[in-house]
Amino acid sequence: MGVVGLAVMGSNLARNLASREGNTVAVYNRTTAKTDELVAEHPEAGFVATDSYVTFAQALTRPRTAIIMVKAGRATDAVIDELVHVFEPGDIIVDGGNSLFTDTIRREKAVRETGINFVGMGVSGGEEGALLGPSLMPGGSDESWVTLGPILRSIAAVAEGEPCVTHIGHDGAGHFVKMVHNGIEYADMQLIAEAYDLIRRGTGKTPAEIADVFAEWNRGELESYLIEITAEVLRQVDAETGRPLVDVILDQAGAKGTGAWTVQTALSLGVPVSGIAEATFARSLSSHPEQRSVSRELPGPDAATAFADDPDAFIEEVRLALYASKIVAYSQGFDEIRAGAAEYDWSIDLGEVAKIWRGGCIIRAQFLNRITDAYRAEPDLPVLLTAPYFVDALTRAQEAWRRVVTISAQTGIPAPAFSSSLAYYDGLRAERLPAALIQGQRDFFGAHTYKRIDKDGTFHTLWSGDR
């Protein structure tokens, strides 16, 4: 098999492949110096270095399998164009980059015409995951999965004895699921950040002390990679100033765009992923220093500190609120996957998706087992958070969740993801929504008509304002 694109992710994935018994890996990079460097640095890998697409194709045994790991976008198209010329029907081209799923759908369709299989594959876990075992989300045809399955199973992360890879569905399904994975990651990170902020200002604890809180949480139902690394980040001291590193880091969050894709796609599918959207917007808000600086004098409560009468009780309330909001964020993410599967005609096993996220990726967590259980018990579950386990957790969290959101509003500590998750939850529970009024307004100004609760059909009222 072969790897094209030898930046960090590609090199590490190639090394991972080469480390498996019986694998010989051909490598190619547009800039040959990078290929030579990788081969020289890792003689143990036994790489076959190639310096053209022709020699790359010649080095592979049939059916040829090449994994492309280049910058998503035009570079991916450029490499596919080259490979299509040197590959033959039955061969497999895998795009392991962070491609937009609609690009993958387009590419799969075009490549299929040549008889070559094209597989868009989400790869999660960053550099370390690529080297030691990522979570893999391949799409593409059933035929390609027959060849790819064993290869991918051998390099994927292992969670509770099972490889973190499954054939997600046809064409763009793998990249779609990877996109939503990233959106959920945005929400999870924002929720953790809000919890930290509330605890810091509510109890006056230092980052190092809050690190202990997160380390403790990591031993319970919140156990996850993100909670674990949060403790590490908060404990870190800046070597230069001796201050907690978190206080020295500029408070403007970056983003590479996958959160925005998740939200844009959800908007077009009509799926309310409000937690993911708030998390994405919170990063945007943080990154506008010019707006933040002119807004600093706006009226509102002074930044209160150490307002919690009972710090331990407050911390426990924040923990419960975090868990409840996290359940909402995941439920929304799975809802988007379900809606995407319906729209694009993919057959996606949601329980399997949760399973393959248990290892290798950034959102790996104990909690994912509960999602798998929920979909195993009821594959067509319309809303994940209505599964019995989550209902229990949400019941336990109720009072605390509402109190924490209230405290956020009263003290002026922004907690957009906490509060929007709660609003979503209450929206779902509501017996009647004011959407009825919106329908009335729409009918009033645009004769958009409405439906009634007591009879079938579509109605329009002759409003007094009608001309």
Tell me the catalytic residues.
178, 185
Q: Which is nearer to ligand ATR, 71 or 85 (CB)?
A: 71
Binds ligand ATR by CB under 6 A, chosen from 2, 5, 138, 244 = 5
Q: Do 181 and 259 touch, CB atoms closer than 8 A?
A: no
The answer to whether residue 7 forms part of the interface with ligand ATR (CB under 6 A) is yes
| 63: preceding bond cis by omega (within 30 degrees) | yes
CB of residue 75 to ligand ATR, shortest distance in Å: 3
The answer to whether residue 86 forms part of the interface with ligand ATR (CB under 6 A) is no
Q: Do 164 and 354 touch, CB atoms closer than 8 A?
A: no
In the chain, what are the helix, strand and coil shares in percent, each to the nearest 5? 60, 10, 35
Distance CA 231, CA 192 (A): 11
The answer to whether residue 146 forms part of the interface with ligand ATR (CB under 6 A) is no
- Look at residues 38, 21, 20 and name the one whose alpha carbon lies nearest to residue 29: 38
The answer to whether residue 70 forms part of the interface with ligand ATR (CB under 6 A) is yes
Asked whether the CA dihedral 239, 245, 249, 254 is positive or negative, the reply is positive
How long is the chain? Answer: 467
The answer to whether residue 158 forms part of the interface with ligand ATR (CB under 6 A) is no
The answer to whether residue 39 forms part of the interface with ligand ATR (CB under 6 A) is no
Q: Which is nearer to ligand ATR, 29 or 182 (CB)?
A: 29
CB of residue 124 to ligand ATR, shortest distance in Å: 16
* Segment near ligand ATR (CB under 6 A); pick from 24-32, 50-58, 101-109, 277-285: 24-32
The answer to whether residue 84 forms part of the interface with ligand ATR (CB under 6 A) is no
Q: Which is nearer to ligand ATR, 36 or 216 (CB)?
A: 36
Q: Which is nearer to ligand ATR, 6 or 413 (CB)?
A: 6
Distance CA 393, CA 33 (A): 54
Strand-strand pairing, 135-138 and 117-124: antiparallel
The letter for the amino acid at 320 is: L
- Look at residues 155, 137, 63 and name the one whose alpha carbon lies nearest to residue 98: 137
The answer to whether residue 6 forms part of the interface with ligand ATR (CB under 6 A) is yes
CA distance between the termini of the chain = 72
Q: Which is nearer to ligand ATR, 103 or 194 (CB)?
A: 103
Distance CA 163, CA 166 (A): 8
Strand-strand pairing, 158-159 and 135-138: unpaired
Contact string (CB under 6 A) for ligand ATR, positions 251-280, x = contact: ------------------------------
Q: Which is nearer to ligand ATR, 42 or 448 (CB)?
A: 42
* Segment near ligand ATR (CB under 6 A); pick from 29-37, 189-197, 398-406, 445-453: 29-37
* Segment near ligand ATR (CB under 6 A); pick from 4-12, 112-120, 121-129, 154-162: 4-12
Sequence-distant (6+) residues with CB within 8 A of 162 are 355
The letter for the amino acid at 241 is: T
- Residue 224 pairs in a beta bridge with 365
Distance CA 436, CA 445 (A): 15
Binds ligand ATR by CB under 6 A, chosen from 16, 29, 135, 224 = 29
Distance CA 347, CA 184 (A): 21
Strand-strand pairing, 162-163 and 158-159: antiparallel
Q: Do 174 and 137 touch, CB atoms closer than 8 A?
A: yes
Binds ligand ATR by CB under 6 A, chosen from 75, 110, 132, 255 = 75
Q: Is 237 helix (H, G, I), strand (E, B) or coil?
A: strand
Q: Is 342 helix (H, G, I), strand (E, B) or coil?
A: helix
Q: Which is nearer to ligand ATR, 7 or 391 (CB)?
A: 7
The answer to whether residue 71 forms part of the interface with ligand ATR (CB under 6 A) is yes
Number of chain residues interacting with ligand ATR (CB under 6 A): 13
Q: Which is nearer to ligand ATR, 29 or 147 (CB)?
A: 29
CB of residue 32 to ligand ATR, shortest distance in Å: 8
Strands (E), 174-256: none
Binds ligand ATR by CB under 6 A, chosen from 19, 23, 24, 30 = 30
Binds ligand ATR by CB under 6 A, chosen from 19, 23, 24, 34 = 34
The answer to whether residue 36 forms part of the interface with ligand ATR (CB under 6 A) is no
Binds ligand ATR by CB under 6 A, chosen from 78, 267, 430, 447 = 78
The answer to whether residue 293 forms part of the interface with ligand ATR (CB under 6 A) is no
The site for ligand ATR (CB under 6 A) is made up of 5-7, 10, 29-31, 34, 70-71, 75, 78-79
